[in-house]
Structure 1
Amino acid sequence: MIRFALTLAVLAGAADAQSVKLSADEIATLLTGNTAVGTWEGNAYRQYFDADGSTIYAQEGARSARGSWRVEGEEYQSIWASDTEWEGWLVMEYAGQWFWVSKITPPTPFDVVEGQELVVQ
C-alpha cells in the first residue's frame, strides 16, 4: 500500500513538473561563486563562475580555459580568448535539475556545487 501511494505521489509530481526559465537575477544567484558540473559534448567538465566576471572551464585531461561570463537579458553568456563574440544560453530548471538551453544545442543538464570546486575531492 505504501509503495502504491509513493508511486502515485511521484507520478502526480511528474505530471505537475514544468520547465522554468530562470530570470537574470536567478541565474546570477545560481552561478556566482559556484561551480557547474556536467557533461558537454561527451566530456565531463567543471566550470567556476567568479563574482568578478571571470570563469574557469576545466575538463579532465585537458588544459583549463579562462574566460569571462555575464548575465545579459535572461541569458548566461560567456566569451573565451579564441571567441570574438559572446555566446549565450538560457538556464532552465525542470524537476529539480538545471539545464543549459540554446537554439543550436539540446538541453544539457548540469549540477551546481557551492564554491570553487574545479578538482574532484
Structure 2
Amino acid sequence: MDDYGKSSTGLDENIVAAASYICIAGPILLFWIEKRSAFVKFHALQSMLGFALLGILWLLIKLVHGIWFLWWAPGLLALYFSISMMYRAYYGETYKIPVIGPLALRHVYDTNPEIAESEANGV
C-alpha cells in the first residue's frame, strides 16, 4: 500500500477517501479541507451526492403514506453504499456510481485546475 499518495491531512489518500463514506459530516469536511488529492475530493463529493440522494429517497417514501413498510429500505441502501464504496476507495478504485460519479469527477477537475495540473505533471 506504499504506492498511494498523501492527502492534505497527512494520511494516505486511500484511507481518507474510504473514510469519506462513513457518515454525512465526514465527506463535507474532507471536501472542504482537501487541497492536493483529486482522488479524495472525488470520493468525498460522490459520498455527499450519494447520501443526499438516499435522503431524498427516504423523504419521498416517508411522504407517501401507502408505502410505510419501505421506510427501512434507504437505511439498508445507505449501509450497502457505505461499505461497498469504502472497500473500493481503500483499494484505490475510482468507481463512479452511475449519474453522480461522472458529475463528481467532472466537478473536481473543473473547479480545481491546480489539482488537474499537478496530477498531469506527476506531482
| TM-score range for the pair, normalised by the shorter chain length | under 0.3
TM-score by length of 1: 0.26
TM-score by length of 2: 0.26
Q: Which has the higher helix share?
A: 2
Q: Which has the higher strand share?
A: 1
